[in-house]
Structure 1
Amino acid sequence: MTVAVWEAMRRHPLRFARSTWPLRCWAFLLSGTVVGLVVLLLFAALLFVGLGLSVVGIGLFALMGLAVLGIPVAALERRRFRIVEPEPLLDPHGSLPGTGTWPWLRTRLRERATWRELGYTLALGVVFSVTGVGFIALLGLSVLLTATPVIVWAIAPDTVMLVPGHPISDPVAALPGSAAGLLGLLVSAYVGGMLAGAQVWVARSLLSARDEDLNSRVIELTRSRARLVDAFEAERRRIERDLHDGAQQQLVALTMTLGLAELELRGQDAPAAALIARARGEARQALDQLRSLVRGIHPQVLTDHGLPAAVSELALRNPIPVTVDIDLPHRLPSAVETTAYFTVTEALTNASKHSGADQVAVVGGLRDDRLVLLITDNGRGGADPAAGAGLQGLADRVAILRGRLVVTSPAGGPTQLRVEVPCSA
C-alpha cells in the first residue's frame, strides 16, 4: 500500500523538508487532533447516555447513534485526507433499498464498512488525538525556541526564563535557543510526515472500499439494471397492448364503417363516394402502419413462438434477402429473446441502409449457456462503431444483460456482428 507522504520522504529525503509537505502534514495533524478530541467527547457522551438510560429504552437510540457515529466521521475524514493524499478513498457503502431513517439504519448496521468506520473513529479519538497533542507540543516548543530572540527583544528589559536558573535578557544570548528551535522544526517536519502517513495508512485499511464492498456494489448494480430492463419491457408491452386493443380496433371499426358507407353509395352519382373511397384507403394505410408499429414494439410471434420464428418473420419483410439458421434447444429468458430480436432488427436495418449488401445471413445457437448470434452481410464494409450511435446503441443494449457486441468490418467487406448474451443474466 503506497502512501504519498512516505513515498515523498523516501524519494527525496533532503528536499522533503524544503517542500510544502511539512506544512500540509502539520495542517493535517492539527485539524485531526481537533476532530479527534471532539469525536472522543461525543463518543463518551453517547456511550454514557446509552448505558445509563438503556433500562428505560431511550438509551437504545443513543447506542444506535453511537454505532453509526463512524459514518459521518469517515465521510469528513475522506475529505480531510485530500490534504496529504492525492488519491481519494472510495466510499465503501452501497446504495439504499429505500428512503427514510429505518431503511437507512438497517442497511448501514448490516454493512461491515460501518463497523470498520466505528473502529477508525475510536482510534481517531484515542490514539491519533493523543499523538496529535504530543506533536502539537513538540511543534509549539520548536516555534517558541525559534522565536526566542524576538521574544527577548520584545519584553526587554525584563528577563526571559527559558531554562530554570538561567535568565536571558540579551537577544544574542538567546540564539542557541533559536538554533535548537530550528532543529526542532526540522525534526517536526519528518515526525509530522511519519505520523500523517501512519494515519493515512490506517484510514486506507479501514475507510476505503474493499473487494467485498465493491462486489456487493456490482451485484446491486446488476440487480438494479435487471429491474430496469424488466420495467422497460413491461412498459413496452403495455404500450403495445394499448395500441393493439385501443387505436388499432378503432381504426378497424372506422375502415368497416367507411366500407359500409361506400356500399350504400355504390351506383349513385354522388361526389361523396370518391371521398369516402379515398378516406377508406387512408384509414387502411394508417391501420397497416399502426400494425407495423405494434409489431416493432413487441412482435406477438416472439412471445408465442420464440426467437427463431420471430427472426424468420423479420427476414421475410426485409428488403434484402436474409437466410436464417438459429438452432435453440429451448426457449430463452424473455429479456434475452427481446434483446437479441431487436439487435437483429437494428443490424438488418443498418445493412439495408448503409452496407450496399445483397445478402445477409443470421446464424445463432447456444454455447456454454450463452446465446451467440452472427449477423453477416456481403456489403462494402467499413462499419465504424465510433462513427455513429447505431452500433454503439446496439452495444449498450447488449451490455445491459452483461453481453457483448463485436464488430468486424474491413474495407471491402464483409461485415459481421457477433452478439453474445448470457442466458443467466
Structure 2
Amino acid sequence: MRSSAVWRALPRGDLLLTSWPWRSLAYLITGVLLGEVVLLTFLATLFTGAILATVLVGIPLLLALALGGIPVAALERRRLMIIDPEPVENPHRRPERPGAREWLLLRVREQATWRELAYLVLLVVLLWPVELLAVVFGLGAPMSMILTPVLRAQTGDVRVLKFWLVTSDAEAFAALAVGAVWLALALYPLTLLAAAHGTLARAFLAPRESETGQRLAEITRSRTRLVEAFEAERRRIERDLHDGAQQRLVALTMTLGMAKLTEGAETAELVGRAHEQAKLALAEIRDLIRGIHPQILTDRGLPAAVADLADRSPIPAEVSVALPRRLPEAVEYVAYFVVSEALANVAKHSGATRAAVTGRLDGDLLVMEISDDGVGGADPSTGTGLAGLADRVSVVNGKLMISSPVGRFTLLRVEIPCAPTDHSK
C-alpha cells in the first residue's frame, strides 16, 4: 500500500528537478505543524477532562478523545494528496438515521475509528518529533548556511550553526556552497521520509478490503434495486399507455371511422364525440409525461415544481424552498422525485393532516426536508419506497436520512452536493 507517485519518483536521476522534493518538504512541514496542534489540543482536552471528571462534566471530554482520530484522519487524507494525487477513500459509512446517537453508535462499532485513533497516537508520540528533527537538520541548517552572505552583509561577522565564525566574504560564499550541497543531498532522505509517512498514513486511514467489500456489496444491491425500480416504472408507463391513451386513441379512430359513414347531424355528433376523446387522450398523455419529467421543472426550476406538487397533494403541504440559483438538472430531478414520493407516502401511510417541505442551499449542498404530523414508524424495510429513494439519491452522491419515531412524526432529510454549473442562474 505504497504512496505510489512519490515512490516512483525517488529512483529518478532528475529527482531534484521535479516538484516531488518540494512537495515532500511541504508534506513534512505541515505534518510538524499539525502534530504540534494535535498534541496541544490532546493534552488540553485530557487535562480539562481529568479535572472536571470529578463533577461528571469532564467525562464527555474524555470520551471525545477516543473519537479524536476521526477529524485528524479526515485532514490527513486531504493532506496526503500533497505527495500522492490518488485520493484516499473515507472508510466510514453514513448512518441510516439522523442524529448524534446513531452517528456515535456507528462510529464506535467501526474498526476504522480505532485505526484512526491509533494513527493519532502515533502522530503525536513519534511521527511529528522525528519529522521536526528531519526538517530542522535537512532544511533549516542548510538554509541558514545558504543565507550566510546575506546575513554577513547586514550584520558583519556571522556565526554559522553556532560553531563556524564567518569573517570574510570568501568564507560566506563557501558556507553558501556547503549549504547548497547539503540541501541537495538532504532532499533525498526528506523525500524518502515523506514517502514512508504517506505509506503509513494510507495503511491506517484507507478502507480495508472487508470494508470495501461491504461497500461494493451495498452498491450491487443498490443497483439491483434501481434496475428493479426502473423496470417497474417501465411497466407502469406501458400499462398507463395501454389502458389509458391507447384506448382513447382506438375509440377516437373508431368514432372518426363511423363519422365517415354517416351524414348530417349524426356526423357532427360523432365529430364532437371524437373531439372530446382526443382532448381526454391528450390530457392522459400530458399527465403521463408529467409523471416522467414535469415540464414545470425544466422551465421554472425546483421551487416552482415542488409548489406544484404540494398543490396536487391530497394532504395540505406547506412549501418553503428558497434557492438562489438553478441547480444541475440531475440534482433537480432527484430532489423533485424524492419530494413527490415522500408526499405520496405521507398520503398513503402516515395518517397525517398536514405536511411541510423546505429546501435551501447550504454552500454547495442542497438540503431538502419533508415532514408530517402523522403516526411515524416509517421503516425502509417495510416496502414504503424509502430504500428506493435512498438508491436514487446515492446516484448523485447524496444521502437520505429519516427520523420517524412511532406515534410522533416523520422527518425525511436529503442532502445532495450540487456545485454550480455553467447554466446556473
Give distance in 1, aligned partners of 2:163 and 2:91: 58
Partner of residue 296, structure 2:
none
Distance 1:99 1:165, change over 3 A: closer
Which of 176, 185, 188 is the equivalent residue of 1:187?
185
Who is 1:103 aligned against?
102
Displacement of 1:239 in angstroms is 8.6
**Distance across 1 between alignment mates of 2:172 and 2:38:** 40
1:87 offset after TM fit, Å? 2.1
Q: Deviations over 1:334-368 (max 9, x none)?
A: xxxxxxxxxxxxxxxxxxxxxxxxxxxxxxxxxxx
| 1:178 counterpart = 2:163 | no
Change (3 A) 1:68 1:166: closer
Q: Give the one of 175, 193, 198 matched to 1:200.
A: 198
Report 1:25-424 matches (<5 A).
25-54=24-53, 56-138=55-137, 139-156=139-156, 159-162=157-160, 167-228=165-226, 273-277=266-270
Q: State the AA in 1 paired with 2:151.
A: I
Letter in 2 for 1:187: L
How far the C-alpha of 1:238 sits from its partner, in A, is 8.6
Which ranges of structure 2 fall in alignment gaps of 5 or more residues? 256-262, 286-394, 396-425
Per the alignment, in what secondary structure is the counterpart of residue 17 of structure 1? helix
Query: Counterpart of 2:7 in structure 1: which amino acid?
Result: W
CA RMSD after TM alignment: 4.4
Secondary structure at the counterpart of residue 88 of structure 1: coil
- CA offsets, 1:161-197, max 9 Å, x none? 3476864322223444334323321232012111101
Which residue matches 1:16? 15
Opposite residue 222 of structure 1, the aligned amino acid is T
Larger radius of gyration: 1
Percent of paired sites with the same residue: 39
The alignment covers a number of residue pairs equal to 275
In the alignment, the residues of structure 1 paired with residue 234 and residue 52 of structure 2 have an alpha-carbon distance, to the nearest angstrom, of 56
| Aligned-pair CA distance for 1:227 | 4.9
Alpha-carbon distance between aligned partners in 1 of 2:163 and 2:219, rounded to the nearest angstrom: 72
Letter in 2 for 1:197: A
Q: Residue deviations 1:278-299, cap 9 Å, x none? A: 556777899999999xxxxxxx
Partners of 1:94 and 1:216 within 8 A in 2: no
Query: Any idea what SS the aligned residue of 1:161 has?
Result: strand
Matched residue type, 1:101: A
Q: How far apart in 2 are the matches of 1:282 and 1:165?
A: 105
1:272-326 Cα shifts (integer Å, max 9, x gaps): 655545556777899999999xxxxxxxxxxxxxxxxxxxxxxxxxxxxxxxxxx
**Structure 1 residues without counterparts, runs of 5 or longer:** 259-269, 293-399, 401-425
What amino acid sits opposite 1:198 in the alignment?
A
TM-score normalized by structure 2? 0.53
Q: Is the 8 A contact 1:148 1:171 kept in 2?
A: no
Query: Deviations along 1:139-179, whole A, 9 cap, x unmatched?
Result: 211111222233223212xx333476864322223444334
Q: CA deviation at 1:10?
A: 1.9
- The residue type equivalent to 1:5 in the other structure is V
Given that residues 144 and 160 in structure 2 are in contact (C-alpha distance below 8 angstroms), is that contact kept between their aligned partners in structure 1? no
TM-score (norm 1): 0.53
